[in-house]
């Protein structure tokens, strides 16, 4: 019984530690400073600005990036780039 408790406790500790580490990494990835060095975010930012400048509809091509984190970064960058140029255009009218 003691051995089972020890194994269960060990698994719980490992699972909790893993969750905390992923959360910290996710928060760091979403910080503004990290985005400046994030290739997927910059790629999305560029393409979002380009599409907005050319008057295209939004088309978030997340398939360009293979990992879920990169896809989220690309999407965030695209949305930021598209929205920024759309706001700039509205302000200039």
Q: What is the pLDDT of residue 5?
A: 77
Report the distance separating Cα 17 and Cα 29, nearest Å: 18
Q: What is the pLDDT of residue 88?
A: 64
Contacts of 80 (CB under 8 A, 6+ apart): 44, 45, 48
Q: What is the pLDDT of residue 42?
A: 94
Q: How many helices (H) and strands (E) does the chain have?
A: 4, 0
Q: What is the pLDDT of residue 73?
A: 93
Query: What is the domain partition of the chain in residue ranges?
Result: 1-30, 32-93
Q: What is the pLDDT of residue 16?
A: 79
Task: Show the low-confidence residues of the chain (pLDDT under 50).
Answer: none
Q: What is the pLDDT of residue 8?
A: 79
Q: What is the pLDDT of residue 67?
A: 93
């Amino acid at each position: 019984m003691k051995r089972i408790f020890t194994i269960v406790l060990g698994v719980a500790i490992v699972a909790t530690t893993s969750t905390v580490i992923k959360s910290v990494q996710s928060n760091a990835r979403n910080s503004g400073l990290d985005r400046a060095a994030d290739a997927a975010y910059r790629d999305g930012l560029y393409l979002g600005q380009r599409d907005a400048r050319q008057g295209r509809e939004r088309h978030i091509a997340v398939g360009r990036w293979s990992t879920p984190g990169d896809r989220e970064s690309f999407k965030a960058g695209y949305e930021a780039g598209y929205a920024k140029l759309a706001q700039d255009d509205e302000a200039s009218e």
